[in-house]
Amino acid sequence: MSPILEISDLSVAYRADGGDVHAVEHVSLTLNPGEVVGLCGESGSGKSTLAYGAMRLLRPPALITSGSVRYSGRRITSGGDPVDILTMSHRELHKIRWRETAIVFQSAMNALNPVLRIEDQILDGIRAHLKMPRHEAKEKAASLIDLVGIPRDRLRAYPHELSGGMRQRVMIAMALAADPEVVIMDEPTTALDVVVQRDILSQIVELKERLGFAVLFITHDLSLLLELADRIAVMYAGRLMETGAAQVLMRDPAHPYTEGLLNSFPSLRGPRRDLNGIPGVPPDLRDTKPGCPFIPRCGFATDACSSVDMSLEPVTGSVTARTADGRHLTACPIVSPEELREATEKARQARQVSKEASPEKAASQEGVRS
Amino acid sequence: MKSGFFAGIANIWRNLPGKAKVGVWLFGFFVLAAVIGPEVAPYAPGAQTPLTQAAPSAQHWFGTTQTGQDVLSQVLTGIRLTLELALLVGVIVTVISVLVGVSSAYLGGVWDDVLSLITNVFLVIPALPLLIVLLGYLSDQGQTSTIVVLSLLGWPWGARVIRAQTLTIRGRDFIAASRETGEKTWRIIGFEVIPNEVSLIAASFVNTVLYAIGASVALAFVGLTNVTTWSLGTILYWAQNDSALQGGAWWWFVPAGLAVALIGTSLVLLNSGIDELGSPRLRATRGTARVAGHRIWPTDPTPVLAQLEAEPGRLGSFLHSFSRASVLQETSAGGNR
Amino acid sequence: MSYLIRRLAFYLVAAWVAITLNFFIPRAVPGNPAEIILSKYPDLTPSAYKALSQMIGGALQKGSLWSQYLHYWDNVFHFNFGTDLNQFPTPVSQILDQAIPWTLILVGTATVIAFALGTGLGILAGWRQGGALDRSLPVLMFFQAAPYFYVALLLVDFFAIQHHWLPAAQGFNGEVTSPGWTWSFISDALEHSILPAFTIVLTSVAGWMLQMRNVMITTISEDYVIAAQAKGLSNRRVVFTYAARNALLPQLQGFGLALGFVVSGALIMEIVFSYPGIGYLLLESVTNKDFPLMQAIFLVITFAVLVANLVVDLIIVFFDPRARAREAA
C-alpha cells in the first residue's frame, strides 16, 4: 500500500533581515490512505508550519528551502507517478487544494468569513471543484450539514450566530465538501471545552470510517492522539523526535521528549501519579546549533548529543519495534526505551521515598505541580 | 541614562522605513528654514521695491510681487509663522486629547459617557464651517484667535483614538497587576499606560500639525485671518487677490503653496513610518513581499527556494549581469561559483 | 432597531449642540456683532434691526436669554432663518434654495467618485503590496498634502487660463444661458463642473486609497482569507468576496468620520471656482458680515453632514451581518 501523502526532507524557513528562522528542519512524514497520523508538539514546534508549508499556504517571508511533498491520489495521478506539490504552478495547486487535501482550521470563528452565510461558504468549496448545477450543490451542502449533525435551518446563518462547537462542525463539513482524500486538522478542538471536544472527536472518527479519508491530526495534546491516531509523530524545535504506532509510543517511548510529554498529562484511568512537565523553554529557531535541540531540557543529555545528526533511525532493542503497524523511529541514538523506562521508574521511586519522609512537603509540592 | 536615550533614538531610526526617513529629512529642512530663514532673508517681507512683478532673478530668487516685495523673504517668514502656529496648536491639542482620552478610558462610568459624547459630537460637526463662523464673529482676527479656535476644534480626533487604545491597555493583565500591588492611579497612567501609547500619541501629534497647517492656510487664503502677517496662507491670499496667476506671475503663487505641500508630504511620510513602527502587522508585511529577489503576492503559494533560484527575477538577473560574480562565471579563466 | 435608534439619538444631540452653538456664539464672542451690523448696514429699518438682535443678541434684544433661546428654536423648526442683510429683504431660505442644488450635485457626485475610485485602487494596492500601485502612493500623498485650492488654482491656470480648454470659474456662463432644464444650460453647467470635480477627486483619492490599502493589508492576513486560499478559490473570489468585503466595513466607517473634512474641502473648492454653491455663499456672508445667512449656512451644512452620517450607518448595517445582529438585540 503506497502512501497517499509523502513528505520528504521538508524544510521551511522565514526569511528575515536578522537571519532566517528555521521553523521546520528536514522533516519526513508519510500518510497512508485511511490512516490517522497525529503530529504532536509544543506551540512553536513547527507542526502547523509543516502542514501549511506542505500545502504551500504560508505567506511571505516563508520560504520552502528543501524537500518534496508527493501526493498519490488516483484522481490526479491516474495510477501513475505521484505529483510533487512543491513543483506545482498556482493553477495546478487549485486542482489539489480542497479537492484532494482539505484543512480544518484551528479557530473556526477566525477561519469563517464573517459576512457570508454558512451555506455560501460550503458552496464555495463545492463549486470551485465540482461541476454541478447550483441546486445540486445546495443539496450536497445540506447533506454535509446533516453528516456533522447540525440542523439544516442553520445553513442560512452567519458564523457569529453559531456556538463554538457548531462552528467547528461546520468547518469539518466544509472540509469534506469536495470529497478529499486527505484532511489536515489543525488543533480542531483546542478552543472547545472538554465535553464538546469528545463529541467532535468521535464525529471525526465516524466520518473517517464512513468516507475513508486519511487524517493528519495536529495537536499539542498527546493524550488525544493516543486514542485517536494510528501513528504518532512527535516534533520539537522544527524537527521530528520520534515516530511510531500510537500504542508503541505510549508503552515504549524511545525519546526523552516523548517521555516528558507522556508524563505531562493525567490519565482518567490508572493509578494516581506525579506529573512532571518539562522544565525549560523551546530554543530560538534563528540560531541552529549543531546536534539535538532538546539538550538544554533533556535529563539524559551527554556530550555526544551535540554532534548527533538528528536523522530518524529505527529503535533498537525494543520488543515492539518489530510490529507490523509502522516502524518505530527515533532521533535520539543515546537512549533506548528500556533505559528510559528504568530511569523514570527510579525517579518515581525516589519521589515516593521523599514523600514518605516528609508528607506535608510532598503534599504541598503535589498541589503546586499539577 | 543618557546613552540609553540616544541608543533608543538610534534604534528607532534604524527601524524606520525608507519613506519615513525621507519625511524626517524633509521636515527637518523646513524646521531649519523656519529657524534661520527670516534671519538670512535678503529683504524684509513687506518691503516694497520699484521692481514690481519681476520674474525670478539673481536679485530676487523667487521674483517679486505686484508691489515689488521679495517673494523669497515672504516665504521664509511664512514658513516660520505657519510652523510656529501649527506646532503650537499640535502641542495644545495633543495635551487636551491625551487628557480627555486617557481619563475617559481609565475612569470610565458616567465620566466616560459624558466625555465620549462631547468628543463624538465635535467629531461629527464639520470643523471648517464652524471655524469660519467663529472667525466671522471675532472682530479681532489675530494669531491668538486662530490658535484658540483651531485648538478648540482639533482635539476630538486624537481623544477618540487614544481613548480606544487606553481601553485596550487597561484591560491588559499588567495593569491589573499594578493595581493589585497598590500602585497609585496617576503613577499607573503615567508610567505604564502612556509609555505604551507613545507611537499613537506621536502619530496623533503629527496629524494635528497637518490639520493645523491645512486649516490655517485655508482660512488665511479666504482672508479670514490677519492678512497683514506673513503666513504662507496670507501670501497665497494676496497672490490670488492681485490675480498673480492670471497676470502670469506664477513665481508669486507657486512657492508658498509648494512649501505647504512639501511640509504636508513630509509629515504624512513621517506618519506612515510611525504607523508601521506602532503596528507590528503592518511592519511585518512591509518589505516581505520580496523573497530571494522575487516579488511574492499574498495570494501566491509559498515559494520554493530551488525554483526561485532557478529563474532569477527580471530585475535581479539584470542587475546580476553587472556583478563581478556573473562576469567571473562567464570567463573561462575561472572564479568560483 | 436599537443600534440605529441610538445613532439617530446621537445625531439629534449633535444637531441640538449645533443649534445651541449657533445661538450662543454671537452672544459669547468679544465685541458686539449687532453694532458691527449697524455700522455696515446703516439703512436697516428699525424693525429689521430688532428682529436681527433677537437672533444674535445685542442692545435691542427683548426678553430673557431663555425665552430668546426658545424663540430661536421655534424659528429653526419653521426654517425661518431671518432675512438676508445683503439682499434685503430677501429671506435667507430663498437664497439657500438657489445655492444648495449646486453644492449637492457637484460635491455629492465628486465625493462618491473619489471614494469609489480610491477604495478600488486601495484594494489593488493592498493586494499587490509593493507593486507599482503601492509605490505610486507617495506621489498621491503629495497631492493630498497640498492645499486643495492650491492644486485647484494650478489646474485652473493650466486648463483655463493658459489653454482655454475649460471654463475658469462659475457654475455656468450667465451671458450665454440661464438656469432651466434646457440642454444648453445643462451642458454648460456640466462643462463648468469638470474642473472643480476633477480637483476634488484628485486631492482626496490618495487618502481613501491609503486607508483602504492599510485595511486590506491587515485583512489579507486574517485566517479566513488563508482558509479561502486553502479552499482553492479563484484569486478574484479571495480578494473581493473574502478580503475586500470585510475590509469595506472599516473603510465605510472611516468615510463617515471623514465626512466633515470632505465637506470642508469642497467648500474651499467652491470658493476657488466661485461656484454658486453654499460654500461660496458662506464666504460671501462672512466677508459681508451677513450674520443671518452665515448662521443659516452653518446649520444647513451641519445637518447635511449628520444626515450623510446616518446614511453611512445604514449602509454599514446593511453590509455587516454582525451589526444587523446588534440591531436586533
pLDDT tens, residue by residue, B48-69:
888 777 888 877 888 888 888 8
- Vertex B166: Cα angle to B163 and B171 (nearest 5): 130
Is the confidence at residue A370, as pLDDT, over 80? no
* A104 within 8 A of A97, measured Cβ to Cβ: no
Q: In what order do the strands lie in the sheet with A239-245?
A: A101-104, A182-186, A214-219, A36-40, A231-236, A239-245, A329-330, A313-314
Q: Same structural domain for residues B175 and B300?
A: no
Chain C partners within 8 Å of A125 (Cβ)? 231
Q: Same structural domain for residues A247 and A164?
A: no
- Taking the C-alpha atoms of residue B8 and residue B16, their distance in angstroms, rounded to an integer, is 13
Q: Same structural domain for residues A283 and A339?
A: yes
- Vertex C274: Cα angle to C273 and C280 (nearest 5): 115
User: What percentage of chain C has pLDDT greater than the value 90?
Assistant: 15
Helix (H, G, I), strand (E, B) or coil at C100: helix
Closest partner residue to B221 (CB to CB) among C138, C149, C261 is: C149
CATH number of the domain within which A161 lies: 3.40.50.300
Q: Same structural domain for residues B299 and B284?
A: no
Instruction: Please list the helix, strand and coil fractions of chain A in percent, rounded to the nearest 5, in that order.
Output: 40, 20, 40
Q: Same structural domain for residues B32 and B121?
A: yes
pLDDT at residue B336, rounded to an integer:
33
Does A332 reside within a domain? yes
Q: Which residue, A229, A251, A276, sits at the end of a domain?
A: A229
Q: Same structural domain for residues A23 and A145?
A: yes
Burial class (CB in 10 A: 0-12, 13-18, 19+), B34: buried
pLDDT at residue A76, rounded to an integer:
79
Chain A partners within 8 Å of C216 (Cβ)? none
- Taking the C-alpha atoms of residue C215 and residue A17, their distance in angstroms, rounded to an integer, is 25
SS3 sequence, B13-56?
HHHCCHHHHHHHHHHHHHHHHHHHHHHHCCCCCCCCCCCCCCCC
pLDDT tens, residue by residue, A18-51:
778 889 989 999 999 999 999 998 888 889 999 9
Does A234 reside within a domain? no
- Taking the C-alpha atoms of residue B84 and residue B77, their distance in angstroms, rounded to an integer, is 11
**What is the tally of structural domains in chain B?**
2
Q: Look at A347 and A64; give whichever has higher pLDDT.
A: A64
Q: Same structural domain for residues B191 and B299?
A: no
Q: Which residue, B288, B308, B323, sits at the end of a domain?
A: B288
Q: Same structural domain for residues B159 and B235?
A: yes
Q: Same structural domain for residues B176 and B228?
A: yes
Q: Same structural domain for residues A144 and A257?
A: no
Q: What is the mean pLDDT of residues B28-35?
A: 90
Q: Same structural domain for residues A198 and A255?
A: no
Q: Which residue, A229, A260, A278, sits at the end of a domain?
A: A229
Neighbours of A44 (CB within 10 A): 18
Q: Same structural domain for residues B161 and B220?
A: yes
Using the Cβ of A59 and the Cβ atoms of chain B, whether some distance falls under 8 Å is answered with yes
DSSP string covering C266-327, please? HHHHHHHHT-SSHHHHHHHHHHTT-HHHHHHHHHHHHHHHHHHHHHHHHHHHHH-HHHHHHH
- Stretch 142-201 of chain B: residues touching chain C, C-beta under 8 Å: none
Q: Same structural domain for residues A216 and A317?
A: no
Domain span at B309: 294-334
Write the CA distances from C247 to B201, B284, C115, integer angstroms.
Answer: 25, 19, 14
Q: Same structural domain for residues A148 and A174?
A: yes
pLDDT at residue C327, rounded to an integer:
60
Contact assignment for A63 to B301 by CB distance below 8 Å? no
* B152 within 8 A of B240, measured Cβ to Cβ: no
pLDDT at residue B331, rounded to an integer:
33
Q: Same structural domain for residues B31 and B132?
A: yes
Domain span at A35: 5-229
Longest dimension (CA), chain B: 86
Chain C partners within 8 Å of B125 (Cβ)? 14, 17-18, 21, 260, 302, 305
Is the confidence at residue B281, as pLDDT, over 90? no
Q: Same structural domain for residues B202 and B309?
A: no
Q: Same structural domain for residues A269 and A190?
A: no
Q: Same structural domain for residues A82 and A198?
A: yes
Q: Same structural domain for residues A159 and A71?
A: yes
* B63 within 8 A of B71, measured Cβ to Cβ: yes
* Cis peptide upstream of residue C89 (ω within 30 degrees of 0): yes
- The alpha-carbon gap from C235 to the nearest alpha carbon of chain B, in Å, equals 7
User: Cell numbers 509544543 correspond to what residue?
Assistant: A42
Subunits that touch chain B (at least 3 Cβ pairs < 8 angstroms)?
Answer: A, C
The count of CB pairs under 8 A between chains A and C is 73
Q: Same structural domain for residues B268 and B303?
A: no
Helix (H, G, I), strand (E, B) or coil at A234: strand
Q: Which residue, A202, A229, A256, sits at the end of a domain?
A: A229
The count of CB pairs under 8 A between chains B and C is 179
pLDDT tens, residue by residue, C214-243:
888 889 888 999 999 999 898 889 999 999
Main-chain dihedrals φ then ψ at residue B171, nearest 5 degrees? -80, -5
Does A58 reside within a domain? yes
Q: Among B189, B197, B185, which residue's Cα sits nearest to residue B274?
A: B197
Q: Same structural domain for residues A201 and A115?
A: yes
Is the confidence at residue A189, as pLDDT, over 80? yes
**What is the tally of structural domains in chain A?**
2
* Radius of gyration (C-alpha) of chain A in whole angstroms: 22
- Taking the C-alpha atoms of residue B67 and residue B46, their distance in angstroms, rounded to an integer, is 9
Is the confidence at residue C9, as pLDDT, over 80? yes
Q: Same structural domain for residues A215 and A304?
A: no
Q: Same structural domain for residues B6 and B107?
A: yes
Q: Same structural domain for residues B272 and B298?
A: no
